[in-house]
Amino acid sequence: MDVHEPRNIRNVVLVGHSGAGKTSLMEALLFTSGTINRMGSVQDGNTVSDFDPEEVRRGISVSLAMAPIAWNGVKVNVLDAPGYADFIGDAKSALRAADACLFVVSAVDGVEVQTEVVWEMAAEAGLPRVVFVNKMDRERASFDRTMDGLVAAFGSQVAPIQLPIGEEHDFSGIVDLISHRAYRYDAGPIGTEGDWPEDLAAKADPYRERLADSVAEADDTLLEKYLEEGELSTEEIVRGVRAGLAQARLVPVLVGAATQPIGADRLLAFVAEALPSPLDRPPATVSTRDGGTQERPTDPNGPLAALVFKTVSDPYVGRINLFRVFSGRIRPDSSVFNASKGTEERVGQLFTLGGKEHETVGEIPAGDIGAVAKLSHAATGDTFSLKSDPVVLPPVELPEPLLSMAIEPKTKGDEDKLSTAIARVREDDPSFRVERSAETHETVMYGMGEAHLDTMVERMRRKFGVEVLTHPARVPYKETIKAKVQAIGRHVKQSGGHGQYGVCNIEVEPLPRGSGFEFVDKIFGGAVPNQFISSVEKGIVKTMTEGVVTGNPMVDIRVTLYDGKFHSVDSSDMAFQIAGALALKDAVAKAGVALLEPIVRVEVLVPESQTGDIIGDLNSKRGRILGMESTGSGKQRVKALVPQAEMTRYAIDLRSMTQGRGAFTMTFDHYAEVPAHLAEKLIARVKKDRDEH
């Protein structure tokens, strides 16, 4: 593909709810532009952007895909972002690389949850937004109903610039409210231009009036004229649409049916003519090595600043990094400085991705998106710059994955392969996190939802040949003692030869939460020789680590060694270690064990209308509500302390309760005693598991 100047580049991300038809629209755009000569379909699993076997199996996009399209001398880099909530990380990554968002909304289903979620992200990023009302050819399709939903959800800034000719099975073309021309699609993807249908004039007038209202609201100069004269000329509306788009104050609405394809040509023309180029966007802000910040305008001749926004593991090519150049240019067979890692990277061949196909390019200038393979250190979020002028672009801010699942290799021989597979999968998707739990000694993976974790497990199997087993991650309970008691540990064995002899008397008492473990030596008169006092402590600590009743570690106790007995020949380090362990077990038997559970601090962000449901649910999970505060955007932040055991599936529960509109964060706060009736059940379950094994 030819190298394009920044003014002739458009970086657009397709976003919206899963099932709205983003992948089909990408296919229609590629076919209409002549990039491909035959349209694939999601049902057949042969589309350009859904090429991953997991996407073909599920029938949904699970990762970000890209394809460049040439249209009237303009290069349009189209990013197809997943619409399913579990893969929101890739949508956020795409927003960092794009200059505009194209929201695909189904004319059948209207505005859905994920559209609202990504809309907030795009608004926060200040990105221009366009809506494409898709599926106008389907049963129950309604443009009027969809427009009402868009205005209700996003305000009067949403304005149609096209209307459909017919609906459902009668949908045959579109009319342009600005040019007063009609486009019919009787043969092929390019519409035949003609006059307005007479019967549409009455319907079009109120919509054109709505467009003029929205354009005027987005431009103060035009607003004055509109208030004085009551109308705007075609040229003024065109100018107002472009200005309103660039400032993200106007959201034009276009229509079509991607699978036909109807309207794809007019959409491409609008993208090329009206959407901002990289030159029209604000300069990128970079952090310098002295801690300051600079602005970098889109200048191919400026110093290099490029961001890696996506990493892909290709089974044939290896690791591929997708990057957006904000300033300067990157050429093949050159070196770039990875300012995030402080290392130099050797760039070989540069290419652009069209789904899974690669097309070599001569350079990637400012404003463009490219890809490079086999870099040594680069990962998602890294910045490429000059070694003489190292700067860092703000990395992609990804949501925190909070649904946990323990993972282990199916066979012992796969242990080393598993760690490699996890590392490679994390490079592909940084919103996937894996940790080794020091408390439960499990490898725990965290994802955005069940589909996300299932996809990661499937990816490990398919790409890296690692079969894994998964099960719910254990909650890291702890044990402590209920009361102050005295106990004795006696380990005496005579077997004819060298015997074993160790006796220790201890006092055990509970300490305040978070105090840990204290060992006090109160031996007088050599009842236990000095060299064996540490042995007693060692035996107690080992038993505490393994737990006495449930297998969970014991904490928050003070053990005082105040007496004991030894034998000059038979006493040994091991004998007193065993005596210490027996003494602690005796103390637990006398005092009883209290089970402690982790309590997490939870902040839930939900629409105000659902606050009551969320509070009721948290109360049912043994939560203690700490308070609420308004965020000023129609949402409330509910703060609570909740037992971690009740939060293991909260990512799924919250999505279900709020239809995906809620979000939450969770951090460890403290340990507290488990209520007696629940502790009895947990202890009984542990004993049953031990008996079965």
CATH code of residue 408 = 3.30.70.870
Q: Please write the tens of the pLDDT for every residue from 289-321.
A: 888 899 999 999 999 999 999 988 776 777 899
Runs of H (alpha helix) within 126-186: 143-154
Asked, for residue 488, whether it belongs to a domain, the answer is yes
Same domain? For 31 and 73 the reply is yes
Closest CA to 502 of 514, 511, 494, 490: 490
CA atoms of 73 and 70, how far apart (whole Å): 7
Helix (H) or strand (E) holding 659: none
Same domain? For 376 and 262 the reply is no
Q: Please write the tens of the pLDDT for every residue from 240-267.
A: 788 888 888 889 999 999 999 999 999 9
Q: Which two tokens stand for residue 244?
A: 């309103």
Same domain? For 586 and 601 the reply is no
Same domain? For 274 and 294 the reply is no
Same domain? For 432 and 347 the reply is no
Same domain? For 138 and 38 the reply is yes
Alpha carbon distances (Å) from 5 to 280, 386, 592, 679: 13, 21, 76, 68
Q: Which residues of the chain have pLDDT under 50?
A: none
The angle at the Cα of 191, spanning 105 to 253, to the nearest 5 degrees, equals: 30
Same domain? For 352 and 374 the reply is yes
Q: Which two tokens stand for residue 641?
A: 């302390």
Number of domains present in the structure of the chain: 5
CA atoms of 167 and 685, how far apart (whole Å): 60
Residue after which a domain boundary falls, among 442, 471, 500: 471
Asked, for residue 212, whether it belongs to a domain, the answer is no
Same domain? For 133 and 274 the reply is yes
Say if CB 164 and CB 136 are below 8 A apart.
yes
Helix (H) or strand (E) holding 15: strand 9-15
* Residue 419 neighbours by CB under 8 Å, 6+ apart: none
Closest CA to 380 of 436, 328, 340: 340
Query: What's residue 1's pLDDT?
Result: 62
Same domain? For 483 and 622 the reply is no
Asked, for residue 201, whether it belongs to a domain, the answer is yes
Environment class of 16 (CB within 10 Å of its CB; exposed 0-12, middle 13-18, buried 19+): buried
Same domain? For 371 and 422 the reply is no
Q: Please write the tens of the pLDDT for every residue from 427-436.
A: 888 888 898 8
Residue after which a domain boundary falls, among 558, 591, 624: 591
Residue type, 292: G
Residue after which a domain boundary falls, among 471, 502, 527: 471
Asked, for residue 220, whether it belongs to a domain, the answer is no
User: Which CATH number goes with the domain that contains 386?
Assistant: 2.40.30.10
Query: What's residue 228's pLDDT?
Result: 66
Using DSSP's 3-state secondary structure scheme, residue 426 falls into helix
Same domain? For 16 and 131 the reply is yes
Residue with tokens 């532009």: 33
Q: How many CB atoms lie within 10 A of CB 293?
A: 11
Say if CB 42 and CB 5 are below 8 A apart.
no
Say if CB 131 and CB 251 are below 8 A apart.
yes
Asked, for residue 229, whether it belongs to a domain, the answer is no
Q: Which residues of 636-651 are buried (b: 16+ CB within 10 A; e: fewer)?
A: bbbebbbbbbbbbebb
CA atoms of 137 and 166, how far apart (whole Å): 9
Which residues share a beta bridge with 471? 406
Closest CA to 607 of 634, 627, 638: 634
Same domain? For 429 and 502 the reply is no
Asked, for residue 146, whether it belongs to a domain, the answer is yes
Asked, for residue 216, whether it belongs to a domain, the answer is no
pTM higher than 0.75: yes
Q: Which domain holds residue 331?
A: 284-392
Asked, for residue 688, whether it belongs to a domain, the answer is no
Peptide linkage before 472 cis (omega within 30 of 0):
no
CA atoms of 231 and 239, how far apart (whole Å): 14
User: Which CATH number goes with the domain that contains 520?
Assistant: 3.30.230.10
CA atoms of 471 and 198, how far apart (whole Å): 64
Query: What's residue 305's pLDDT?
Result: 94
* Residue 350 neighbours by CB under 8 Å, 6+ apart: 330, 331, 332, 360, 361, 362, 363, 364, 370, 371, 372
Q: Strands, DSSP E only, in 543-623?
A: 557-565, 593-607
